[in-house]
């Protein structure tokens, strides 16, 4: 059991559009939502779950909109949140952006989608590719007869239509690893983890059966490949797209599936093996009250010399009342972004093993601000192509279709920054 009704509210809490799914919570109850939210925010007790009497609001915020689900039952909270996020995803794919205007411009489709996404509080088809097969922007004239049927909705494989045809059968595999890092002010690493995703772009005809082989340690141990020269990776937690046969993976670590057509995320995994932070930052931020702030940042690429990190952006916090910035960098450029209270030091390409320096100088007003400011961390963004931190590799991708065509898999590796934070003192 889940939501009774779903609302999309503007930033002031006025309903833009809503759908009553169960009729057991009066639609007018939504009036209490915004005052409640404001009140809880003032009290400092804001949470994504609010209640007014017997009505419970589960809400998320998307740009300037609130998506709110109401219920009076002991609903499945995580299910509702996932549903709301899924709803946003679907709307975004339909309207590019989800905002007040796009809802108004497309209200008929929004109603149609709301009708298909959920029924009586149970989430239904939330895959926008499938929805697009039968909910379209143009008003569709109906042909009579059973022909006009959303094919996928009726398939046993609900994520793939039958009769797909491509001239050239190809699969593109992207292995993307994000590094999450948290370092405290004295330089010790508190948390370091790798979150990897494998994304596929599938251009295959018919109903192909795919099997993906990774250098998975557990698999190697099962098949006796370990101990040989093959390097393997221990995946800590693996999540799969619904197309993957989970019990098969549980049994013999085989990743087998019939893929949806086009783009999708096949799997994600997590490793908490600690690796050397790829880009290491040392910083000195000296604040001389009433006069100036002096910042010195040293960045070091701690990855292989052959690799290069692209689009490196290091954001360093500065006090909100700082002024008259001056910078000096050994490479790249620095700029002050006052609306975010940071200096951003950008380096287009940063080869492994190199070390660069940036100095910044700010003035401070002679009258000090009263409110205390937090100490935001230094953040780093980067992308290193042709490289995975974990060492994960795609060993093979087998593609079998009854028509027997030959298909080519293409693999690309990339490592990028995830939530990469270094606390400042």
Partner 1 sequence: MTDSKYFTTNKKAEIFELKAELNNEKKEKRKEAVKKVIAVITVGKDVSSVFPDIVNCMQTDNLKLKKLVYLYLMNYAKSQPDMAIIAVNSFVKDCEDPNLLIQALAVRTMGCIWVDKITEYLSEPLLKCLEDEHPYVRKTAAVCVAKLHDINAQMVEDQGFLDYLWGLIADSNPMVVANAVAALSEISESHPNSNLLNLNTQNINKLRTALNKGQIFMLDCLSNYNPKNDRKAQSICERVTPQLSHANSAVVLSVVKVLMKFLELLPKDSDYYNMLLKKLAPPLVTLMSGESEVQYASLRNINLIVQKRPEILKQEIKVFFVKYNDPIYVKLEKLDIRIHLASQANIAQVLAELKEYATEVNVDFVRKAVWATGRCAIKVEQSAEHCVSTLLDLIKTKVNYVVQEVIAVIRDIFRKYSNKYESIIATLCENLDSLDEPDARSAMIWILLESFLEGFHDENTQEQLTLLTLVQQMLTLATQDSDNPDLRERGYTYWALLSADPVTAKEVVLSEKPLISQETELIEPTALEELICHIGSLASVYHKPSNAFVEGSHGIHRKHLPIHHGSTDAGDSPVGTTTATNLEQPQVIPSQGDLLGSLLNLDLSLPINVPQVSSMQMGAVDLLGGGLDSLVGQSFIPSSVPATFAPSPTPAVVRSGLNDLFELSTGIGMAPGGYVAPKAVWLPAVKAKGLEISGTFTHRQGVGWILESSLTGVIPSTPLAIHTPLMPNQSIDVSLSLNTLGGCEKQYRCLLLQLPQPTQCAFVEGGKMEHQVFLATWKNIPNENELQFQIKECHLNADTVSSELQNNNVYTIAKRNVEGRDILYQSLKLTNGIWILAELRVQPGNPNYTLSRKCRAPEVSQYIYQVHNSILKN
Residues of span 264-303 touching partner 1 by CB under 8 A: 265, 268, 270, 272
- Of the pair 44, 404, the CB lying nearest partner 1 is at 44
State yes or no: residue 46 binds partner 1 (CB under 8 A): yes
Residue from 166, 172, 203, 240 in contact with partner 1 (CB under 8 A)? 240
Phi/psi of residue 76, each to 5°? -80, 105
Q: What is the dihedral of CA 119, 124, 127, 130, to 10 degrees?
A: -80
Closest by alpha carbon to 279, among 107, 90, 424, 420?
420
Binding mask 67-106 for partner 1 (x = CB under 8 A): ----xxxxxxxxx-xx-xx---------------x--xxx
**Does 413 participate in binding partner 1 (rule CB under 8 A)?**
no
Minimum distance between the CB of residue 373 and partner 1, rounded to whole angstroms? Answer: 7
Q: What are phi and psi of 130, to 5 degrees?
A: -70, -40
Using a CB cutoff of 8 Å and minimum separation of 24, what contacts does 225-232 make? 231/391, 231/393
Q: Report the site for partner 1 in 182-221 (rule: CB under 8 A).
A: 182, 184-185, 190-191, 195
Query: Is there binding between residue 388 and partner 1 (CB under 8 A)?
Result: no
Give the Cα separation of 121 and 112 in Å (integer).
16
Q: Which is nearer to partner 1, 49 or 337 (CB)?
A: 49
Q: Does residue 396 contact residue 157 with C-beta atoms inside 8 Å? A: no
Of the residues 9, 204, 233, 238, which one makes contact with partner 1 according to CB under 8 A: 238
Q: Does 259 engage in binding with partner 1 (CB under 8 A)?
A: no
Backbone angles phi, psi at 385, to 5 degrees: -80, 165
Using a 10 angstrom Cβ sphere, with 0-12 exposed, 13-18 middle and 19 or more buried, the burial of residue 118 is buried
Residue 228 interacting with partner 1 (CB under 8 A):
no
Q: According to CB under 8 A, which residues from 7 to 36 bind partner 1?
A: 15-17, 20-24
Determine, following the binding rule CB under 8 A, whether residue 256 of this chain makes contact with partner 1.
no
**Choice between 111 and 386, CB closer to partner 1:** 111
CA dihedral 32, 105, 153, 93 (to 10 degrees): -90
Q: Using CB under 8 A as the criterion, what x/- string covers residues 121-150 for binding partner 1?
A: xx-xx--------x----xxxx-xxx-xxx
Between 43 and 227, CB nearer to partner 1? 43
4 contributes a contact to partner 1 by CB under 8 A: no
Q: Closest CB to partner 1 among 190 and 337?
A: 190
Q: Which of residues 336-375 bind partner 1 (CB under 8 A)?
A: 372-375
Residue closer to partner 1, measured from CB, 10 or 170: 10
Residue 63 sits in the site that holds partner 1 (CB under 8 A) = no
Calculate the alpha carbon distances from 170 to 109, 133, 266, 328 in Å.
33, 23, 16, 48
Distances (CA, A) of 153 to 148, 165, 333: 12, 19, 53
Question: Residue with structure tokens 């509080």?
Answer: 121
Q: Which residue number, 56 or 129, has a Cβ lying nearer to partner 1?
A: 56
- Element containing residue 43 per DSSP (H, E): helix 33-43
Residue from 377, 380, 387, 389 binding partner 1 (CB under 8 A): 377
């Amino acid at each position: 059991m889940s939501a009774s009704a779903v609302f999309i509210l503007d930033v002031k809490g006025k309903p833009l559009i809503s759908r009553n799914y169960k009729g057991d919570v009066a639609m007018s109850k939504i009036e209490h939502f915004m005052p409640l939210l404001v009140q809880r925010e003032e009290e400092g007790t804001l949470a994504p779950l609010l209640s007014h009497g017997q009505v419970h609001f589960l809400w998320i915020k998307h740009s300037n909109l609130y998506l709110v689900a109401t219920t009076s039952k002991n609903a499945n909270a995580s299910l509702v949140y996932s549903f709301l996020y899924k709803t946003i995803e679907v709307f975004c794919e339909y309207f590019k952006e989800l905002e007040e205007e796009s809802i108004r411009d497309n209200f008929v489709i929004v109603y149609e989608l709301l009708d298909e996404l959920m029924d009586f509080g149970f989430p239904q088809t939330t895959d926008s590719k499938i929805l697009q097969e039968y909910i379209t922007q143009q008003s569709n004239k109906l042909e009579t007869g059973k022909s006009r049927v959303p094919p996928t909705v009726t398939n046993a494989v609900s994520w793939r239509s039958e009769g797909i045809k491509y001239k050239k059968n190809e699969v593109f595999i992207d292995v993307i690893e994000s590094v999450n890092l948290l370092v405290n002010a004295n330089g010790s690493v508190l948390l370091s983890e790798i979150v990897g995703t494998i994304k596929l772009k599938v251009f295959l005809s018919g109903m192909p059966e795919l099997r993906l082989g990774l250098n998975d340690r557990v698999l190697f141990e099962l098949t006796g490949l370990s101990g040989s020269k093959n390097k393997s990776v221990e995946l800590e937690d693996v999540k799969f797209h619904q197309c993957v046969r989970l019990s098969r993976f549980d049994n013999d670590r085989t990743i087998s599936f019939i893929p949806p057509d086009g783009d999708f995320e096949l799997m994600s995994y997590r490793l908490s093996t600690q690796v050397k932070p790829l880009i290491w930052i040392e910083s000195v931020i000296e604040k001389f009250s009433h006069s100036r702030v002096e910042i010195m940042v040293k960045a070091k690429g701690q990855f292989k010399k052959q690799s290069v990190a692209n689009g490196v952006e290091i954001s360093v916090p500065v006090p909100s009342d700082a002024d008259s910035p001056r910078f000096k960098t050994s490479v790249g450029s620095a700029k002050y972004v006052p609306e975010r209270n940071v200096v951003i030091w950008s380096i287009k390409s940063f080869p492994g093993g190199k070390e660069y320096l940036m100095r910044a100088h700010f003035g401070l007003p002679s009258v000090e601000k009263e409110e205390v400011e937090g100490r935001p961390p230094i953040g780093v963004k980067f992308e290193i192509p042709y490289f995975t931190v974990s060492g994960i590799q795609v060993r093979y991708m087998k593609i079998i279709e009854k028509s027997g065509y030959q298909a080519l898999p293409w693999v690309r590796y990339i490592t990028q920054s995830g939530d990469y934070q270094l606390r400042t003192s």
